[in-house]
Copies of this chain bind each other. A is one copy, B any other.
């Protein structure tokens, strides 16, 4: 059976040493009152306990049993309810929530570490509260004070959950097509009718109530995405004093049979004249929903890192224990029937690829968390604005690059096990099935790539991009920085490629979509190069304090620069080949 151990030492390395987060927290008043280095460490320690001891043990049984639907109600697998109750007692759902309504006000930089542990332990379980946290964020940012006061406290507590109701059968990426309707009622609320699909946690038996955030169209709404409004529609109606009243006209029609995350209920949710309340302005629902969506996008990115971390831990253990064949340079364990397979160069290549991408991802997620904290809590307007621009730029990269490389790492981890990786017993095949969804939901990775290149780089005239690359150049400028030459070359390449694409897009709008996925990959590899250089820089300076730990960081950085970063060359060539070869076939000739 696989076992999950939270990578606490690595997380502290990123938080304290690479980003010196406690110093940042100390200068941001809204954070300084809640957190310092010791609090953060205590929280990480406790998070490690909860995720590895309470939640991880339910991962396999949850997959085997799956969420079940019967007569309109979803039941989660055995053990989920009890674990959930213990979990919410710890206040985890409101970890980075608004303290005015019962949240703990912790920095996002810390919360991303916790999210990684949660997904690493059990992706299905993690989703039930991930959606709640995102829904809270949207309510906190856009809803009326009354709605906030009514809904946020029980949601931060975890007694009530959140859901995100966007997709309809005929409308996924293209939300302008939705048909769910909202009719105004006399009391200022609305009556919602329509059917939503793929609703994660749309029903479950863990919480007393579920707060659906629903995209719908008002009667007089303009066509397309500019005619979408956002509504709060509780499963159970709520009295003025916050107690539960009668059931709302919301029902769960069925759940999907999926490749993975089987313990997470993916629901069809029907609204049959259900009572709801407008969040934010009429017809501006898409923007309000994006507050939640962007949160979920980072969160789902982190699912990629979490699953990759577990896959790596399992594969590493197996590679140290499994005896098979001899090292190419001669037996290293002559007293045994064969050497452990970790002696083989190709097994090391697989493990190091996983290690480099997972730790690079953790550093990148922490960096995005840092920018989220600055955009929320900085008292310097320029700093706040820059951070918000960086968050917008980097969110699609985080979502897509973490999950693309997350699948790669889970597949590699499965490969290390040989035939044993394909059977249920070792847990590796479940990781591959579970992580695969992360490239698809919350906007497919293709959509993330279009968002990055089309909206965040080209439509932004490269302003946010320059903000980002300036940070890289600033780091790499002083003489003696590790991998200075490689890093400066890579960042120059990203800038040149971006400029070239900016020009190309003016000639032919197809150039954006023809380049976007590979461009996002180039972006990701360059960003990780920066983060690996930063990690190597810290490790070099601390080598004597813990030689084994810091040597491993330096070795992984070297592997990254030598064997992974070169991937940008081929990606760039493919991008520069342009869209022409994509459009020579008509649809019928495929």
A contact residues vs B (CB 8 Å cutoff): 167, 170-174, 177, 197-198, 256-260, 266, 316, 319-320, 323-325, 328-329, 337-338, 340, 342-352, 355, 407, 411, 414-415, 418-419, 421-425, 429, 432-433, 436-437, 439-441, 444-446, 449-450, 508-514, 516-517, 548, 551-552, 554-556, 558-559, 562-564, 566-571, 573-574, 577-585, 587-590
B570 touches A324 (CB 8 A): no
A509 touches B573 (CB 8 A): no
User: 15 extra interchain contacts, Cβ-Cβ under 8 A, other than A260-B422, A421-B440?
Assistant: A172-B419, A173-B325, A198-B419, A256-B423, A258-B422, A258-B429, A329-B510, A346-B514, A349-B514, A415-B445, A548-B589, A552-B590, A562-B581, A568-B570, A569-B573
B342 touches A582 (CB 8 A): no
A310 CB to nearest B CB, Å: 15
A325 touches B583 (CB 8 A): no
**Nearest B-chain residue to A356, judged by Cβ:** B581
B424 touches A257 (CB 8 A): yes
Q: Which residues of B contact A508 (CB under 8 A)?
A: 329
A254 CB to nearest B CB, Å: 11
B324 touches A174 (CB 8 A): yes
Q: A328-B510, A329-B509, A587-B340 are in contact. Are A581 and B558 (CB under 8 A)?
A: yes
**Nearest B-chain residue to A316, judged by Cβ:** B590
Interface centre among A325, A449, A556, A579 (most CB of B within 10 A): A325
Bound CA span A186–B259, Å: 54
Bound CA span A345–B584, Å: 11
A188 CB to nearest B CB, Å: 32
B585 touches A345 (CB 8 A): no
B584 touches A449 (CB 8 A): no
A345 touches B172 (CB 8 A): no
Q: Which residues of B contact A564 (CB under 8 A)?
A: 574
A167 touches B433 (CB 8 A): no
A481 CB to nearest B CB, Å: 19
A413 CB to nearest B CB, Å: 12
Q: A173-B418, A346-B450 are in contact. Are A351 and B584 (CB under 8 A)?
A: no
Bound CA span A580–B555, Å: 10
B555 touches A566 (CB 8 A): no
A590 touches B415 (CB 8 A): no
A16 CB to nearest B CB, Å: 21
**Nearest B-chain residue to A313, judged by Cβ:** B590
Bound CA span A348–B556, Å: 36
Bound CA span A343–B588, Å: 11
A170 CB to nearest B CB, Å: 7
Bound CA span A422–B590, Å: 23
A437 CB to nearest B CB, Å: 5
Q: Which residues of B contact A556 (CB under 8 A)?
A: 585
A581 touches B552 (CB 8 A): no
